[in-house]
């Protein structure tokens, strides 16, 4: 078949890879002038196979007033400006119950672990460098009730093949001595031995080359204006560059998915931020997640990537302020992890597509011939291989 894909980020590119492996003809369409110009450009870089938890957790209910009044630096909500945004928020609140969170945890764990095997298979098939390393990950907890709650789910996850273990802070420091330099008191940690890191942008540019070498076409600077249908069957795409005939389409457009087609799962933007700096005097090896601040520290080759926050229903006007807050909090907690005064400073903000459950929607739409692979939230890089493989099985 000839299959068109909207979106040339990591989700669209891995989707194209698995479709090409099945022998299909593939054309990728993106409104930007190159691959990975959105959420894939400078994300956290962590391949969180074993610690990919939904955002909606029971502890958020108790934090609601703090979040609603914007006194929580990690998560910010503006009042929803549309009915769909309000519906998303209500559904998100329902996913913060214990039962919903446990179910979402296990579903995400299954997808994440599938991605781990698929990436290894991909690397046997294609050999390229994207600063990929098995760094493992330690998630640090300041509040005992939150640590105990996370610890309670470890047994069920291990039944799926997850290798997470709970550690005392003393044991965590043995695995990563750099924790001693952090200016916070922690009561426990979760160690994810299998977790890895990789530069998503480098991966995407390398995969683009492989796809082009294997006959895939790319249409950049091309924005979808509308789908052309006959009854409920796809016939083509109206774009800023004219009509494109298409009978099979996979939409991997992240937060823009809803502008193209109605998704069975509501998808909204959770804006995240990152800064990339040279290393500091503490040469940490293990990736670290500060669960209270929702800040990640990752070593990517010879640079340090600091990623954080989740801002809902915000536009770009808040970016500079939030980047300064991310820099300030990171410097305060981990002053020696990066060279914060370096002139080699890169910053990024991106809209991550989130469903209320944090589970992406991977499947058909109501329009015949149109499929959706979107809503991966904070784990697009991690889940891209499993979701690309899964959507390819529809063809």
pLDDT attached to residue 79: 79
Q: What's the CA gap between 294 and 1, in Å, rounded?
A: 43
Q: State residue 316's pLDDT score.
A: 62
Alpha-carbon span 90 to 356, nearest angstrom: 9
Indicate the SS3 state at residue 93. Answer: helix
Residue-level pLDDT at 82: 87
pLDDT of residue 355: 97
pLDDT given at position 317: 64
HSE-CB for 214 with a 13 A CA cutoff: 20
Q: Cβ(105)–Cβ(153) under 8 Å?
A: yes
Give the whole-angstrom CA distance, residue 5 versus residue 376.
17
Q: Six-digit token pair at 221?
A: 């600077």
Query: For residue range 239-264, what is the model confidence (pLDDT) as tens digits?
Result: 999 999 999 999 999 999 999 999 99
> What are the phi and psi torsion angles at 360 (to 5°)?
-65, 155
pLDDT recorded at residue 99: 93
pLDDT in tens, 23-66: 999 999 999 999 999 989 988 899 999 988 899 988 887 777 77
For 53, half-sphere exposure in the C-beta direction (CA atoms, 13 angstrom radius) is 23
pTM: 0.95
Are 273 and 341 in contact, with CB atoms under 8 Å apart? no
133 and 198 Cβ atoms separated by less than 8 Å? yes
CA distance 238 to 218: 17
Do 352 and 360 touch, CB atoms closer than 8 A? no
Q: Please tell me the predicted confidence (pLDDT) of residue 255.
A: 93
DSSP secondary structure code for residue 80 in this structure? P
Side-chain-facing half-sphere of 152: CA atoms under 13 Å: 10
* Weakly modelled stretches of the chain, pLDDT under 50: none
In sequence order, the 6+-apart residues with CB closer than 8 A to the CB of 324 are none
- Note the residue count of the chain: 395
């Amino acid at each position: 078949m000839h299959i068109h894909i909207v979106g040339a980020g990591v989700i669209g590119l891995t989707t194209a890879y698995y479709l090409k492996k099945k022998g299909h003809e593939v054309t990728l369409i993106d409104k930007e002038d190159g691959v990975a110009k959105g959420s894939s450009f400078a994300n956290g870089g962590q391949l969180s196979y074993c610690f990919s938890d939904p955002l909606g957790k029971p502890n958020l209910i108790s934090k609601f007033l703090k979040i609603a009044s914007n006194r929580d630096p990690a998560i910010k909500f503006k009042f929803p400006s549309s009915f769909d945004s309000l519906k998303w928020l209500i559904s998100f609140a329902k996913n913060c119950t214990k039962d919903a969170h446990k179910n979402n945890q296990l579903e995400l764990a299954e997808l994440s672990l599938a991605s781990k095997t698929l990436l290894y298979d991909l690397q046997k098939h294609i050999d390229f460098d994207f600063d990929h390393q098995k760094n493992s990950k330690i998630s640090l907890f300041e509040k005992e009730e939150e640590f105990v709650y996370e610890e309670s789910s470890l047994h069920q996850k291990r039944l799926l093949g997850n290798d997470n273990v709970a550690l005392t802070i003393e044991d965590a420091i043995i695995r990563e001595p750099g924790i001693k330099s952090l200016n916070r008191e922690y009561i426990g940690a979760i160690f994810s031995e299998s977790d890895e890191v990789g530069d998503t942008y480098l991966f995407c540019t390398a995969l683009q080359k492989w796809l082009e070498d294997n006959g895939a076409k790319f249409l950049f600077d091309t924005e979808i204006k509308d789908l052309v249908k006959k009854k409920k069957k796809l016939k083509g795409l109206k774009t800023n560059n004219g009509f494109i005939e298409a009978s099979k389409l996979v939409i991997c457009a992240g937060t823009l998915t809803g502008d193209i087609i109605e998704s069975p799962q509501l998808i909204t933007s959770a804006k995240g931020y990152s800064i990339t700096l040279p290393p500091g005097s503490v040469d940490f090896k293990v990736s670290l997640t500060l669960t209270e601040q929702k800040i990640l520290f990752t070593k990517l080759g010879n640079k340090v990537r600091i990623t954080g926050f989740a801002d809902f229903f915000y536009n770009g006007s808040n970016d500079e302020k939030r980047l300064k807050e991310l820099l300030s909090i990171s410097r305060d907690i981990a002053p020696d992890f990066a060279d914060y005064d370096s002139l080699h400073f890169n910053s990024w903000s991106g809209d991550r597509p989130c469903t209320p459950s944090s589970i992406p929607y991977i499947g058909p739409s109501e329009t015949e011939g149109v499929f959706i692979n979107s809503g991966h939230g904070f784990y697009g890089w991690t889940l891209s291989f499993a979701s690309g493989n899964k959507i390819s099985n529809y063809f």
